[in-house]
Structure 1
Amino acid sequence: MKLFYKPGACSLAPHIVLEELGVGYEAETVDLKTKVTESGVDFLTINPKGYVPALQMDNGEVLTECQAILEYLGDRNPSQNLIPAAGSTARYQIHAWLNFVASELHKGFSPFFKPSTPQEWKDACLVILEQRLSYVDAELAGKDYLMGDTFTVADAYLFTILGWARYIQLDLAKWDNLAAYQARLAQRPAVVAAMKAEGLI
């Protein structure tokens, strides 16, 4: 497998899961402005959408979209419990979390990374983003992870997105559970390995 990523982008989530799996894989950075990979390949020939992550699977096919890649990787080794079994209620709860992180948090941060976003819109987006983070903080009360005491692919995604808070000067310390969650996950060997590989620590 080969993961195409940009350091610190949402592609960090599958990078973490690949480390959790302990399988052999390659990773290659992508310049999202020029759409050229580290080895000089036109990234648009790999993913015509032009953004990361993209995962070239062992059969040569390319899978895109963070949620889909996380599910695919989670299913690679069921014994690791990175994603609940297909058809189980827990699996649908994971779908719910992945969708929430993608649509409410991931996209909630997006306006802050666009220079053209008017400040008034950023201010309005921040109010909504803080409401969503308060919801997650409440859901994490008494839990180590989103699904309880088991780390899953949804945690890899949430941890990645929470890491963006520092780039917009949003202090997570105001949410006790979120801050403790982020600190706890930052100590996981797979998280450390992926962040080191991306030059983030």
Structure 2
Amino acid sequence: MEPVLFYGVPHGCSFGSIVALEWLNQPYRLCRIDMLDKPKGYSRFNPSQQTPALLLESGETLGESLAVLHHIAARDLDRKLGFAQGTPDFDRLNRALAFLHTELHAAFSPAWAAFKVADGAPEKDMLRTMGRNNAAHSLAHLDAVLADRDWLVGNHRTVADAYLVGIARWAEDLRLFELARDYPRLHAHLQKLEADEAVIFAHAIEDERPVKSSGRFQSHVTVEELLPRLAA
């Protein structure tokens, strides 16, 4: 069977891995993971129970967004979603992905924590303010980077752009910023990505709406159906 991506809802960062798989245009399947009520058996594939995770043809599971995205890109470098390891372009892509993960993704953590706190609790506003302040620095950096380029890395889309569109949306999901006003260049870049068929597909997948793949998506499968594929 084709590789299977475990993706998380609601609004997981695994969104970018779905986009990247669509751009790759190779057969794949999806397994939906409710991050608020993780299905029984998922820990056998990924002990951390985080998403994304990619079940490979060998039966082994690859976790962590950066590893999954680099793996997807390396499956066909002619698609130009990534670059050969050891090249300057690869280093630039790796740096961009690391920034998105360690700086931007992490910056939203306090705001996500506040999202789970009951209204009126004293720590809620403190966590939201912390998240907003943290994210503002990273978003400003991205807005500046996009002032003189069309894509995050190089002169074409890469897995870095796929990852970006999945996490930058949290700025408005969490009602922390109005991107069009606060970070117009970043907003314009995200709008360009939002018009992409793969991004439209990933939104529909998350929302469980009917959608036609522009790549080679095969079907959804359940954790239970995948248990026989576990590596020995």
Structure 1 residue runs of 5 or longer lacking an equivalent are: none
Deviation string, structure 1 residues 3-22 (Cα, Å, up to 9, x no partner): 11123201111111110011
Partners of 2:145 and 2:79 in 1: how far apart? 23
Which residue number corresponds to residue 128 of structure 1?
Answer: 134
Count residues in correspondence: 197
- 8 Å contact 2:4–2:28 — kept in the other structure? yes
- The structure, 1 or 2, with the larger RCO (C-alpha pairs under 8 Å, 6+ apart) is 2
Which residue number corresponds to residue 55 of structure 1?
Answer: 54
Closer, same or farther: CA 121–195 of 1 in aligned 2, 3 Å? closer
Partners of 1:194 and 1:118 in 2: how far apart? 30
* 2:144 counterpart of 1:138: yes
Range that drifts further, 186-195 or 63-72: 186-195
In the TM superposition, residue 200 of structure 1 has moved relative to its aligned partner by: 7.5
Partners of 2:173 and 2:152 in 1: how far apart? 24
Which residue number corresponds to residue 179 of structure 2?
Answer: 172
Structure 2 residue runs of 5 or longer lacking an equivalent are: 118-122, 210-232
Which residue number corresponds to residue 189 of structure 2?
Answer: 181
Partners of 1:138 and 1:21 in 2: how far apart? 28
Which residue number corresponds to residue 33 of structure 2?
Answer: 30
Identity fraction in percent: 31
Deviation string, structure 1 residues 104-134 (Cα, Å, up to 9, x no partner): 1111112111134542243133122112111
Q: Any idea what SS the aligned residue of 1:6 has? A: strand
Cα RMSD of the aligned pairs, angstroms, is: 1.6
Partners of 2:149 and 2:155 in 1: how far apart? 6
Deviation string, structure 1 residues 128-152 (Cα, Å, up to 9, x no partner): 2112111110001132210142100
Closer, same or farther: CA 200–172 of 1 in aligned 2, 3 Å? farther
TM-score (ref. length: structure 2): 0.80
Which residue number corresponds to residue 5 of structure 1?
Answer: 7
Range that drifts further, 177-186 or 24-33: 24-33
TM-score (ref. length: structure 1): 0.92
**Alignment of structure 1 residues 1-201 onto 2, 5 Å:** 1-7=3-9, 8-36=11-39, 41-114=40-113, 115-116=116-117, 118-169=124-175, 170-173=177-180, 174-199=182-207
**Structure (1 or 2) with the larger CA radius of gyration:** 2
Q: Any idea what SS the aligned residue of 1:198 has? A: helix
Q: Any idea what SS the aligned residue of 1:17 has? A: helix
